[in-house]
Structure 1
């Protein structure tokens, strides 16, 4: 049965039933999990210690729910406007200038983690070098920074790749390595707690924050950083076969649920182990509480080092391409679409704005059926793709995204997880990559605590990327839509998310400045 015109949505870069959509829910979940998981898991016990066990777990759940909702409304913005990337969503909602700000946010959200990853690599490898190479001698700070420089030099050639589809296996390696590390931490925590005298941990574990609101606020940016995957959501959605609302909900709910459960397990286990051995507050890296000669933990330690090293190109390549897109956009301006494309866009924007956001059973609409009626606008969607990616033979040229998702090679900008990779020479890529890694290395050499980086990143850029922009864009794109009870509830949720996240950004930033200045 034909779907009502008012429920039409835009599916880019490929139409709803396109054979180019080959992604499964399982593959999408693994892709997003590999985007979310990283070296930040080592700071989760520290976040629980600062916030207290009960408030810390509550913040974990609330952050997971907020991230789940923000991912949903971000994809909804894409489906209602035809935007294929994070910066395009900003452009559709707020105009052309917002696209440049969106690209600037992507640059920040991919550059700042490089600093944190260099610090983590240095702190992970140094104990192993001290034990097995230096015979137990302690490395000076300068020697540790030289070690970090050697590790960055080792990963530099991998960062020169032009496209990320050659690193698809990295997501499985990342998940396997972090799972191995989690098993090691949980095993050692269970052994230590089981051998401790009865009631020995009662005084060491704080259920509530001992430093008041400041401690709880310090943990919030860590939780926010732990759930950010928004720059990779739209490329994953663009590859998902039959992208009904039900499959979208399943993908997002599974991702956030599994990640939250994993974080709770590793956070609580690491916190209990640190309390058991009397190392609470000693470091923001839980592995510092373990014996450097522990073979099981060292296996997980080295696995995480490999994961972090493989993550460098996943950050450097999008950051480098975003810099090139900003330069091209500022120098030449955005290409003006054809009159026919503008007319088609305008017509579908009007119908999308009047659609009913509450349908729960429509095919490609906000509902969740099998999407059979979505073929009504397949011709438009296919036309749009061919307009976006003209080739000499009139066909479509495709590339793969960082998560293995097919993407149109010229279809607008790409988020950090996308791969509208700009064709560049090896010399140009090296000339851009070297200062990116060099400046990150220089900043990392001046910072001793990785939570300082997570604090700045989580309280500023990540709050904006994960919560503020999706919420504000949803309110802007859906402002003229016909609203019923369910759609009004979504708009109210987006408004609440925008207000709360903006307040949190101010409060957490001020708290981080206070903590750093008071040392």
Structure 2
């Protein structure tokens, strides 16, 4: 591949000289769509449950705070990449190391890189498993459901959509997924309104919770909302897919502003319609025609969301299997992505509840990667930053660490 060609992955861009490496072809608008779609997935069906568990006050304030935190984290990661480019060491990072891995290498060396790669693999695979388990949950009450067939078709569709050169190629699928998601939420709302109209005494409906229902409820709220903003681990993949990578923070800010408004509207609106929700909303809808159509639509949303996680997950593995190759063949890329998809499908068949899986992955992996890692890296690399900047990083690291540890312990039942 010549240096004037478009980079096909963030790993390829890393292997080119920094002065000549080019980027992807996604515009700011397409990147905004990809960020929005990476956030607005099947986890949206668990937002009313998060609102119920955390209470209305904490839900609204927390959704806003975590959105701002993600914009801050993306800005810090972009800044860390600029700082790492100025560092010279006798031992460069191994060939095939991703950009986030390169930043970690210059900040904490070989051990730091190993820890990061393990966290990323667990995060990507954890969310993929939860999403594929969601497809099985959604379609389990439909008349044509067969678990083996559904799992195979879901895995095959996910892999086929992931066979792209970079994440900019997924922007059209992201736009379609957002349309399907909006339509599905509308159908759920219609069912909720219909159920309320059937109530002879609407005042007998359960009251809404303004504050957390329990300490474990706080953990459910935190894990579900945090994973709903899981854009930070994808920062460099999305940035390298852009024609104007310097506008990544702007694209993130604009995308998460829309996501915040959507989450507040969706969480509060559907919680008011389903005050007794005990998990994802499709469990509350029965087995009529509209619920079946909604389940099919949400299964489609999952299939359009999963490739946004399978692509970077596979690139991480490809970089280790083919460390000395600037460009992998189509066959090699297909083999790795099919293998990762097959592993995810197999694990998904062992998961009892995708809501619990989302909460645990959100509390543990996303908490570490999204809340703790960016300020930690910036503290390590920006040694000449002002006291105010380092104070903000330190406070964010402290708060993120406490929230991650406590919520994870609650999620696994140790507190």
Cα distance 1:80–1:158, how it changes in 2: closer, same or farther (>3 A)?
A: same
Residue 80 of structure 1 corresponds to 83
Deviation at 1:257, TM superposition (A): 1.3
Cα distance 1:224–1:14, how it changes in 2: closer, same or farther (>3 A)?
A: farther
Cα distance 1:422–1:200, how it changes in 2: closer, same or farther (>3 A)?
A: farther
Question: Is residue 2:219 matched to residue 1:217?
Answer: yes
Residue 179 of structure 1 corresponds to 182
Q: Matches of 1:19 and 1:267 in 2, distance apart?
A: 40
Residue 250 of structure 2 corresponds to 250
Q: Matches of 1:310 and 1:458 in 2, distance apart?
A: 20
Residue 101 of structure 1 corresponds to 115
Structure 2 residue aligned with 1:158, among 131, 137, 160?
160
- The answer to whether the 8 Å contact 1:60/1:223 transfers is yes
Q: Matches of 1:82 and 1:201 in 2, distance apart?
A: 62
- The answer to whether the 8 Å contact 2:152/2:345 transfers is no
Structure 2 residue aligned with 1:320, among 306, 314, 322?
314
Structure 1 residue aligned with 2:329, among 418, 423, 427?
423
Q: Matches of 2:78 and 2:339 in 1, distance apart?
A: 34
Q: How does 1:111-150 map to 2 (within 5 A)?
A: 111-129=125-143, 133=144, 145-150=147-152
Q: How does 1:5-404 map to 2 (within 5 A)?
A: 23-82=26-85, 85-129=99-143, 133=144, 145-152=147-154, 154-155=156-157, 158=160, 161=163, 163-164=165-166, 167-190=170-193, 192=195, 200=203, 203-211=206-214, 213-238=215-240, 240=242, 247-275=247-275, 279-281=276-278, 284-295=279-290, 297-327=291-321
Q: Matches of 2:124 and 2:397 in 1, distance apart?
A: 22
Q: Matches of 1:221 and 1:498 in 2, distance apart?
A: 17
Q: Which has the larger radius of gyration?
A: 1
How far does the alpha carbon of each residue in 1:266-310 deviate from its partner, in whole angstroms, 9 at most, with x for none?
Answer: 1112212212xxx432xx111111132142x54443222122123
TM-score using structure 1 length: 0.66
- Equivalent residues, number: 390
Deviation at 1:201, TM superposition (A): 6.2
Deviation at 1:315, TM superposition (A): 2.9
- The answer to whether the 8 Å contact 1:185/1:269 transfers is no
Structure 1 residue aligned with 2:364, among 454, 460, 465?
460
Q: Matches of 1:195 and 1:475 in 2, distance apart?
A: 57
- The answer to whether the 8 Å contact 1:67/1:466 transfers is yes
Cα distance 1:248–1:294, how it changes in 2: closer, same or farther (>3 A)?
A: same
Question: Is residue 2:397 matched to residue 1:491?
Answer: no
Residue 5 of structure 2 corresponds to none
TM-score using structure 2 length: 0.81
Cα distance 1:43–1:156, how it changes in 2: closer, same or farther (>3 A)?
A: closer
- Greater helix share, 1 or 2? 2
SS state of the match for residue 384, structure 2?
coil
SS state of the match for residue 230, structure 2?
coil
Q: Matches of 1:460 and 1:480 in 2, distance apart?
A: 31
Q: Matches of 1:182 and 1:89 in 2, distance apart?
A: 39
